[in-house]
A and B are shown apart, each in its own frame.
Chain A
């Protein structure tokens, strides 16, 4: 008898649980990533301690910061386009929320299992550029406008390598459904040896590297942080935002980092699967979230490591990198993957 961990829930109960999970996951993700990487990892890399006062070892610092943001006045610049300005952070945050809809953390533990899940995720990820453009335009500030324009150019340029890098995985797995990609990795074999499945990082390492670089650009983090570049355009599109609207941007940034790290671990690291166990077991609904969390933290560590180490590129160099290096490489990767898929 196959033991499955299945609960019978009414549709409204399922929906309610899913809503709560998605609503909670972004603030939680922002808190965890913000504390572990932005505060502690960065501090240790820079030979300082970081926050130590709020809570044990400074763990509650971000909560204190969040409360501080909520207390602040909601300032609108006098010449701002009020509705656009007010709506922009919400648009950015919604794009992050939608990313979590298709992210699977177990065989059934997914908010909405779409056949074209990967397509959906990459599509809604690019929604954030609209919010950033709105913020840049609505702020009535030259620095914000420059930041918005830079963000638009950059995010559109890096959508392409992001999608192309994922296509290699799609070819290999033969599906766009994120859960089936996980299953394909879990049941895959390396030259007939199936003990650890076949995580696609082994075959798609080029795709993984391109994906991470493109994610870095999508998140507007160094070395691709020209849209916010504090030392040049003083925060770019965020420059006029205060209080909870700035908090929205902050949460969206870290929530998106979390979501992209999740997608990267689904595509390349085997998702919620642990080698040696039966991937159809219902227990994965229970341990899957923890496995995913560990993998997400590993990928996030890489993302933030780059962030704290590199200087910033210039926009023209960024575009050159996207169009002259990443996209040809990704296309080559697709060709090689396709040929090998047919041959092997």
Chain B
């Protein structure tokens, strides 16, 4: 088929006219690497975002920059040595990391911690929640551009860390939990001091509620941003406050308190129906306040007795498998421990909360603006050690 010159010219002219129009309306996308070194990722998370202007088309989190191989390392250590490693998973609430592992080992050995140990364990568990979430409450402000709240958070978290330190000797990595109980009892005068700290933490919550949460700009930036409906949250395996902010009333402290004493306390699980960034902040703020009441109740009802059950000096865990999960500051944290009757575990699988929480980002980051990416990441609240382990 021959094409006349006339037809050819007409075709070129039409294509050129088409191109002239399209040049004006089509813009090229841009790929933006958010991280691995970026202030908003507080660690080494990398998010590759395909942008159209300021709008995110596709975003993909890339994890593993901080992988330290704890699951493998745990296989070549004895049971008491493993707690040193797992302290460093969620480094802001270290003590809470030890609890599910120790509970799993106790379950395999069929040892039960004496009541006083269980109560103190729960107190420290909640204190590490306070230390962890307090920082989130301030850090959310920094991510949104308000630099002041985080300093209040650091100031008041210090009181909680002091209490943890005076019991365990370690501010960030207590390494205090033992199979069968705890290393030591509480120091003298600690209970009264802790009561004072709980009042301070409640004042801190009030302060942030007035300073940050009551701010119109904060609401404008967080309300309706990064909405995760309940079914999506469940299907991505979200847990902790992220799940409760989507309206799912599920808290392992109440629903499966294996070994901890939350079921003996009077407290409430806070949920929020919206599922947006504001809801996640709101739920965490309420939970922080609730945790201070919980600690006060536990200080009142602390039973007397030993803090260590009778366990052999050299711990050999009988063969078997156990999975224990607890409601850690960041969400559900579980350890699946397989024992072959040796000094150390044969295999440990760590289910950490942030890994699942961050997996929802490709879904929730579609079509949002770049500033909202930061809001959503901050409100999901992950800790890099908890993602990569």
Interface residues of A in 212-240 (CB under 8 A from B): 222-223, 225-226, 229-234
Q: A230-B39, A231-B142, A312-B371 are in contact. Are A142 and B30 (CB under 8 A)?
A: yes
Cα separation A58 to B89 with both chains bound (whole Å): 39
Taking the complex as formed, is B269 at the interface, i.e. its CB lies under 8 A from any CB of chain A? no
Q: Is A314 an interface residue (CB 8 A)?
A: yes
A311 in complex: contacting residue of B39, B54, B221, CB < 8 Å: B221
Known: A47-B152, A146-B54. A308 touches B147 (CB 8 A): yes
Query: If A45-B148, A309-B148 touch, does A234 touch B38 (CB 8 Å cutoff)?
Result: yes
Asked if A231 and B221 make an inter-chain contact with CB atoms under 8 angstroms apart, the answer reads: no
**Which range contains the number of A residues in contact with the other chain?**
20 to 34
Residues facing A in B140-159 (CB within 8 A) are 141-148, 151-152, 155
In the assembled complex, how far is the CB of residue B46 from the closest CB belonging to chain A, in whole angstroms?
14
Measured in the bound complex, the distance between the Cα atoms of B151 and A46 in whole Å is 6
Indicate if B370 sits at the interface (CB-CB under 8 A): yes
Q: How many residues of B contact A (CB 8 A)?
A: 29
Contact of A312 among B30, B40, B148, B221 (CB under 8 A): B221
Q: For the complex, is B32 an interface residue (Cβ under 8 Å from A)?
A: yes
Q: How far is the CA of A312 from the CA of B370 in the complex (A)?
A: 13
- Which residues of B lie under 8 Å from residue A231 when comparing CB positions? 39-40, 142-145, 374
| Interchain CB contact under 8 A, A311 and B152 | no
Closest residue of chain A to B144 (Cβ to Cβ) is A311
A-contacting 9-mer, from B72-80, B125-133, B191-199, B210-218: B210-218
Tell me the complex Cα distance, A311–B143, Å: 9
Q: How far is the CA of A311 from the CA of B145 in the complex (A)?
A: 5
Which listed residue, B212, B220, B370, touches A313 by the CB 8 Å rule? B220
A222 to B149 alpha-carbon distance, docked (Å) = 14
Q: Which residues of B contact A71 (CB under 8 A)?
A: none
| CB pair B146 A312 closer than 8 Å | yes
State the Cβ distance, B147 to closest chain A Cβ, in Å.
7
Is the Cβ of A314 less than 8 Å from the Cβ of B152?
no
**C-alpha gap A301/B209 in the complex (Å):** 25
Complex Cα spacing A308 to B32, Å? 29
Residue pair B145, A47 in contact (C-beta under 8 Å): no
Tell me the complex Cα distance, A311–B146, Å.
4
User: CA separation between A291 and B372, bound complex, in Å?
Assistant: 44
In the complex, what residue of chain A is closest to B37 when comparing beta carbons? A234
B144 touching A316, Cβ below 8 Å: no
Structural contact, A312 and B372, CB atoms closer than 8 A? no
Given the complex, which residues of B lie within 8 Å of A311, measured CB to CB?
141, 144-146, 212, 215, 217-218, 221
A142-B32, A230-B39, A231-B142 given; A46·B371 CB < 8 A? no
Given contacts A46-B152, A47-B155, A146-B54, contact A314 B372 (CB under 8 A): yes
Most buried by B among A225, A234, A313, A314: A314
A314 is contacted by which of B141, B155, B215, B221 (Cβ under 8 Å)? B221
A42, A312, A315: the one within 8 Å of B145 (CB): A312
Q: Please name all residues of chain B whose beta carbon is closer than 8 Å to the beta carbon of A313 when the two chains form the complex.
A: 217, 220-221
Report chain A residues within 8 Å CB of B218. 311
Asked whether B151 lies within 8 Å of A314 as measured between CB atoms, the reply is no
| In the complex, residue of chain A having the shortest beta-carbon distance to the beta carbon of B211 | A309
In the bound complex, CA of A146 to CA of B32 (Å): 11
User: Which residues in B have their C-beta under 8 angstroms from that of A229?
Assistant: 145, 371
Q: Mark B28-43, 1 if CB is under 8 A from A, else 0.
A: 0010100000111000
**How distant is the Cα of A315 from the Cα of B372 in the complex, in angstroms?**
11
CB-defined interface of A283-322 with B at 8 Å, one 1/0 digit per residue? 0000000000000000000000000111111111100000
How close is A229's CB to chain B, nearest CB, in angstroms? 6
Give the interface centre of B151, B370, B372 by most chain A CB atoms within 10 Å: B370
Does B250 belong to the interface (CB within 8 Å)? no
Question: How far apart sit A229 and B146, CA to CA, in the bound complex (Å)?
Answer: 10
Which residues of A have CB within 8 Å of B91? none
Assembled-state Cα–Cα distance A231/B373 (Å) = 11
Whether the Cβ atoms of A310 and B220 lie closer than 8 Å is no
CA distance in complex: A143, B30 (Å): 11
CB nearest neighbor in A for B219: A311
CB distance from B361 to the nearest CB of A (A): 16
Q: Contacts A230-B39, A231-B40, A314-B371; is A309 near B146 (CB within 8 Å)?
A: yes
Query: Do the beta carbons of A310 and B146 come within 8 Å of each other?
Result: yes
A-contact bits for B214-240, CB 8 A (1 contact / 0 none):
010110110000000000000000000
**Closest CB pairs A-B (n = 4):** A312-B145, A46-B151, A311-B144, A311-B146
**B contact residues vs A (CB 8 Å cutoff):** 30, 32, 38-40, 54, 141-148, 151-152, 155, 212, 215, 217-218, 220-221, 369-374
Extra A-B contacts (7), CB below 8 Å, given A47-B151, A311-B221:
A42-B148, A146-B54, A230-B39, A231-B39, A231-B144, A232-B40, A315-B371
List 15 A–B pairs whose Cβ atoms lie within 8 Å, in order of A's numbering: A143-B32, A226-B371, A231-B39, A232-B40, A232-B371, A234-B39, A309-B148, A310-B146, A311-B145, A311-B146, A311-B212, A311-B217, A312-B145, A312-B217, A312-B371
